[in-house]
Amino acid sequence: MAEYAVELRDISKRFPGPSGELVTAVRNVTMQIRDGEFFSMLGPSGCGKTTSLRMIAGFELPTEGEVYIHGKPMGKTPPFQRPVNTVFQNYALFPHMTIGENVAFGLQMDGVPKSEIMARVKQALEMVRLPGYEKRRARQLSGGQQQRVALARSLVKRPEVLLLDEPLGALDLKLRKDMQLELKKLQREVGITFIYVTHDQEEALTMSDRIAVMSGGVTLQVGNANEIYERPNCKFVADFIGETNFLQGKVTEQNGKAVTLALAGGLTVHAEAEQSLANGTEASVAVRPEKVNLTGHAGAANQFTGRIVSVVYIGTDTYYGVRLPGDQLLRAREQNDRPDSRPMAAEGDEVTISFSTQAARVLTE
Amino acid sequence: MSSTKRSPWITLSALLIYFFLYAPIVVLIVFAFNSSKTNIVFEGVVNQGACGPFYWFCKLFSNDDVLDAAKNTLTIAFISTIVSAIIGTMAALALQRYDFPVKRASEAALYIPIVIPEIVMGIGILVFFSALFTWFNSTFGLVGDGRLAMGLGTVIVSHIAFSIPFVTLVVRARLHGFDKSLEEAAMDLGANEFTTFRRVTFPLIAPGVLSGALLAFTLSLDDFIITFFTTGPGSTTLPIYVYGLLRRIVTPEVNALSTIWILTVLIVVFISQRLEARR
């Protein structure tokens, strides 16, 4: 057994663009997806995540590089000979067939005996909580139900890897949240490797064992939810996953991971960096709003005085916009966990904010 | 409601349009039951022989020339419909799916037969066939009955040629908005290209193919000009036959024949529209 369920080795994909020139959709992407893992490719539209997925499925062939499924190079293997199945964004249920016929289709293609097909279709529909829906048509079902039929149709074949291309994109928010948990549960039960494409960072964080953040056809960072949220390796990841304040400054000192930077307005920030930085390097310090303390904290590594310029109440939390000396803006997020939940400060108030060294990450790219 | 206040002129002009369109057809059908042998005055409903009012229809069915012409017409229509439906569908699929260097040019060329005058097409085909046959016969020394000549074959080939663009047009309309991911889903589930076509693509475009085919069928049934230029001995079709009759005397037999014909075409068009509506 190969080490990885799916491996992309240095794959690139170029398409002819509208005026004949080549457009690079995926650039030198390398990814290893482990067996039984829930792996997400996350990024904005046009980042190459869907193209990467389509190259695993075999709908597109890489211009360069190779896709390996369980250690076997796929080369030009057509989709119908690959041990993977896809759940499409628009479900792609066959409109001229019943739900039962849709789910049975893949088994018929495999030459499974008729009696077994019936049983497995029934079982698959039960698994997605649609028992007895065999005789219905796709158009009689709601979006969420169609989505589950599409899942059953793929899973009934017991693929080694299931590819999901934004399968929840067309559902409303409430249903999407339910389906997220359901999908994750289903994945644990069947123990199949899921490769999930989404532009929704929350969805990726909720479901995935590991996430690959992509942008502009390249992979920026691969890691679990905690790693990519707490330790983003570049400004794009820090900005795309959750919310981040960026403070611009110049490196004045580095001692191991601890870095000191000078900001505009004569402020000094103590932050952490993974990389070694020469003095004078222009860098951004990323600080999550929820890690900024509005009440000040004696002994905190970073403590600044600023003026509140905005107060936005969003229910569970309140956002405070703080203008620091040197005109840098910092957003602080405070939980409304006190019984009265009154704002801690009003516009125009002068406050002392603080955050720890660990909460501040130096990013140069 | 304001829409009820419609100018009477609009109603009148609409009625006139329908009158001019349908009065000749109604007259034609009525005269199929005329007791007079001429088509000028209606002298009452015919009641002659065993068939009574359908005398002219019965006379028609005992006319071997008519039956031969009908047989030719249907043979030509069936063969040209089937062949043009297959080729036209293939062309529609190719134009829909692939980008190739001369795509625009070949697409435009495909639709030219629809717009150029039929008589030009007819003359063109005639010149083409006679040149081809003359060269072929002299090169291979064919003589007598062995020679290639105009006949059923040439009519069928030309009907196929002018039907293809119509089929392609109708099938392309059906393919417009065809969800390509359905084919990908089929392949993903293990169907090869042929099975995907048979189980998914074709069933979904079948109504378009069928209505295109029915259109081709009616066009072939009706065609006079191109058939006139490409026909030969023994391949007379109904339109050619009727034209021949008109040059002598117009008996209600022609009206009876036309009545049957109109009904046939109406039924085919009706079926075709029903299929087209079922998308």
Neighbours of A23 (CB within 10 A): 13
Q: What is the pLDDT of residues B180-190, one digit of tens each?
A: 899 999 999 99
Nearest C-alpha of chain A: how many angstroms from B213? Answer: 21
Helices (H), chain A: 49-57, 99-109, 114-127, 143-155, 173-190, 201-207, 225-230, 235-240
How close does chain A come to B151, measured CA to CA in Å?
43
What is the crossing angle of helices B64-97 and B152-175, to 10°? 40
Q: Supply the range of the domain harboring residue B206.
A: 64-278
Partner-chain contact B204 A92, CB within 8 Å: no
pLDDT band at B1 (very low <50, low <70, confident <90, very high): very low
**Test mutation, A60, A74, A80, A86, chain B, max B CBs within 10 A:** A80
**Is a pLDDT exceeding 60 seen at residue B174?**
yes
User: Which of A9, A14, A54 shows the shortest CA–CA distance to A195?
Assistant: A54
Pairwise pLDDT comparison (B277 vs B122), residue with the higher score = B122
- The number of domains in chain B is 1
* pLDDT at position B79: 96
Give the pLDDT score at B43. Answer: 80
Q: Higher confidence at residue B143 or residue A63?
A: A63
DSSP H/E element including B259: helix B252-277
pLDDT of residue A2: 62
Higher pLDDT, A265 or B21: B21
Non-local CB neighbours of A309 within 8 Å, separated by 6+ positions: A321, A322, A323, A329, A347
d(CA A46, CA B126): 56
Q: Minimal Cα–Cα distance from A86 to chain B, Å?
A: 7
Contacts of B185 in chain A (CB under 8 A): 86, 88, 92-94, 153
Q: Does B4 have pLDDT greater than 70?
A: no
**A·B CB contacts under 8 A:** 60
Residue of chain B whose alpha carbon sits nearest to that of A81? B190
Q: Judging by beta carbons within 10 Å of its beta carbon (0-12, 13-18, 19+), is residue B190 exposed, middle or buried?
A: buried
Does residue B39 surpass a pLDDT of 80? no
Residues B188, A79: C-beta atoms closer than 8 Å: yes
What is the reported pLDDT for B160?
A: 95
Distance separating alpha carbons of residues A191 and A252, to the nearest angstrom: 50
Q: Average the pLDDT over each of A302-316, B27-41, B160-174 and give the range with the smallest value.
A: B27-41
In a domain, B96, yes or no: yes
Q: Which pLDDT value is given to residue B126?
A: 92
Per-residue pLDDT of chain A (365 residues; tens, 9 = 90+): 567 899 999 999 998 877 778 888 999 999 999 999 999 999 998 899 999 999 999 999 999 999 999 989 999 999 999 999 999 988 999 999 999 999 999 999 999 999 999 999 999 999 888 998 999 998 899 888 998 999 999 999 989 899 999 988 878 888 888 888 888 988 988 889 999 999 988 899 989 999 999 998 999 999 999 999 999 989 999 999 988 999 888 888 888 888 888 887 788 888 888 888 888 888 889 999 999 888 766 677 888 888 999 999 888 888 999 998 888 889 999 888 877 767 778 888 888 888 988 888 998 87
Burial class (CB in 10 A: 0-12, 13-18, 19+), A156: buried
The two structure tokens encoding residue A283: 């860098």
Residue B49 lies in a domain: no
Residues of A in contact with B203 (CB under 8 A): 96
B202 touching A (Cβ < 8 Å) = no
Q: Which H helix or E strand runs over B242?
A: helix B238-248
For the sheet with A161-165, list strands across it: A84-87, A161-165, A193-198, A38-42, A210-215, A218-223
Q: Answer whether A88 sits within 8 Å of B184, measured CB to CB.
A: yes
Check if the beta carbon of residue B225 is closer than 8 Å to that of residue B179: no
Indicate whether B125 belongs to any domain: yes
- A263-277, B18-32, B122-136, B206-220, range with the lowest pLDDT: A263-277
Q: Is A313 on the interface with B (CB under 8 A)?
A: no
Q: How much helix, strand and coil, in percent to the nearest 5, is found in chain A?
A: 25, 35, 35
Q: Do A106 and B190 touch (CB under 8 A)?
A: yes
Please report the sign of the dihedral spanned by the C-alpha atoms of residue B217, residue B222, residue B225, residue B229: positive
Is residue B112 situated within a structural domain? yes
User: Within an 8 Å CB–CB cutoff, is residue B178 touching chain A?
Assistant: no
Q: Is B71 inside a domain boundary? A: yes
Residue B32 lies in a domain: no
Does the pLDDT value for residue B2 go beyond 70? no
pLDDT per residue as tens digits for the range B197-219: 999 999 999 988 988 998 899 89
> Do A80 and B188 count as a contact with CB atoms less than 8 A apart?
yes
Q: Which of A112-116, B60-64, B104-108, B172-176 has the highest mean pLDDT?
A: A112-116
Comparison of pLDDT for B51 and A6, the residue scoring more: A6
CA distances in angstroms from A211 to A68, A136, A241, B92, B260, listed in the order given: 19, 37, 11, 42, 71
pLDDT at B48: 78
**Which CATH number do you get for residue B245?**
1.10.3720.10
Q: Is residue B2 part of a domain?
A: no
Position B34 in a domain:
no
- Mean per-residue pLDDT over chain B, rounded: 87
Max mean pLDDT range (A81-85, A167-171, B96-100, B172-176): A81-85
φ and ψ at residue A169, rounded to 5 degrees = -55, -35
Give the pLDDT of residue B164.
Answer: 94
B47/chain A closest Cα distance in angstroms: 53
Query: Between chains, do B182 and A57 touch, taking CB under 8 Å as contact?
Result: no
Which chain A residues touch B202 with a CB distance below 8 Å?
none
Length of chain A: 365
Q: Is A105 on the interface with B (CB under 8 A)?
A: yes
Q: Do A136 and A98 touch, CB atoms closer than 8 A?
A: yes
Please write down the HEC assignment for all residues of A89-131. CCCCCCCCCEHHHHHHHHHHHCCCCHHHHHHHHHHHHHHCCCC
